[in-house]
Amino acid sequence: MSDVPVLRLGSIGPDFEAETTKGPIKFSEFAAGSWVVLFSHPDDFTPVCTTELGEVARLQPEFEKRGVKVIGLSANDIASHDKWISDINEVGNVDVQFPIIGDKDRSVATAYGMLDALDKSNVDAKGLPFTVRTVFVFDPKRIIRLTLSYPASTGRQFDEIIRVIDSLQLGDKHRITTPVNWKKGEPVIIHPSVTNEEAKTLFPDFKTVKPYLRFTSEEQGKTIV
Ligand code: BEZ
């Protein structure tokens, strides 16, 4: 059995020091008081990864609007990342500004459980596991609020990460949850812990579909809480 702790929703993200394309960081200092997306890709100079990192660069203003710092990671060194960034910028017509960790010794990947030796579709020429397409979203207390692992063959949908961040940030401010396929601005669900009496004050326009399924508008929660 490995003695690396399994990270779950609610775990505090382990601290680490690492080299990045923007200089050395201590993760606890980088993440302090901010939402953070830490995402790993299998390898530099690979096709799906090139499209993914270009998309993250394109979405950078959307992350910034939400107070989210983004940081990438793979088990390549900084020289490799720096060279590859030119390709990402060219292919995606973007300007990658977020840092990418050079986790050559896989120490951060190990601490975050980003390696999967069982997945034979994601190993290097020596049979060593590449980092899985992993995503961690941390809140400003460095608590893990979302985890994702995607197969090497499938590029991620980063709009979905932003959608979840919108839901989490709204749910942290107001006693609401968000329904299937919800997008920012659409009706939200009143949290089951809110009684109908409380809901009358908090969300006067609320609509009851079932006693356990009550909708309100996002705007109303904003003005009241
Ligand atoms: C890719 O980015 O295309 C890729 C990387 C590692 C394994 C398979 C695909």
Q: Which atom of ligand 1 lies closest to the CA of 122?
A: 7
48 touches ligand 1 (CB under 6 Å): yes
Would the pLDDT of 183 be above 50? yes
88 touches ligand 1 (CB under 6 Å): no
What are the domain boundaries of the chain?
Answer: 17-156, 174-221
pLDDT-based confidence at 130, cuts 50/70/90? very high
Instruction: Identify which has the larger pLDDT, 223 or 168.
Output: 168
Ligand 1 center to 50 CA (angstroms): 9
Would the pLDDT of 222 be above 60? no
Would the pLDDT of 219 be above 90? no
Looking at residue 225, what is its pLDDT? 39
Q: What are phi and psi of 108, to 5 degrees?
A: -70, -40
pLDDT tens per residue across span 78-129: 999 999 999 999 999 999 999 999 999 999 999 999 998 888 888 888 888 9
Q: Which one of 3.40.50.2000, 2.60.120.260, 3.40.30.10, 3.40.50.720 gives the CATH number of domain 17-156?
A: 3.40.30.10
Looking at residue 224, what is its pLDDT? 41
144-150 and 213-216 beta bridge pairing: unpaired
Task: Indicate the average pLDDT of the chain.
Answer: 94
Beta strands in 23-154, from DSSP E residues, in sequence order: 25-26, 35-40, 68-74, 100-102, 133-138, 144-150
Helices 47-58 and 78-92, interaxial angle, to 10°? 70
Can you say whether the dihedral through the CA atoms of 222, 67, 6, 148 is positive or negative?
A: positive
Q: Which of 197, 173, 177 is nearest to 186 (CA)?
A: 177
The domain over range 174-221 is classified in CATH as 3.30.1020.10? yes
Q: Which of 181, 100, 109, 182 is nearest to 149 (CA)?
A: 109
pLDDT-based confidence at 2, cuts 50/70/90? low
The one-letter code for the residue type at 48 is: V
Report which protein residue has its CA nearest ligand 1's atom 1. 48
Ligand 1 center to 151 CA (angstroms): 9
Report which protein residue has its CA nearest ligand 1's atom 2. 48
pLDDT tens per residue across span 42-55: 999 999 999 999 99
39 vs 130: CA distance, rounded Å: 13
Looking at residue 223, what is its pLDDT? 45
State the number of CA atoms in the 13 A half-sphere of 203 facing the CB: 23
The whole-model pTM stands at: 0.94
Would the pLDDT of 205 be above 70? yes
Mean pLDDT in residue range 175-194: 96
Looking at residue 1, what is its pLDDT? 52
Looking at residue 28, what is its pLDDT? 98
Ligand 1 center to 122 CA (angstroms): 7
Q: Residue 142, SS3?
A: coil
Looking at residue 218, what is its pLDDT? 72
Q: Which residues are catalytic?
A: 49
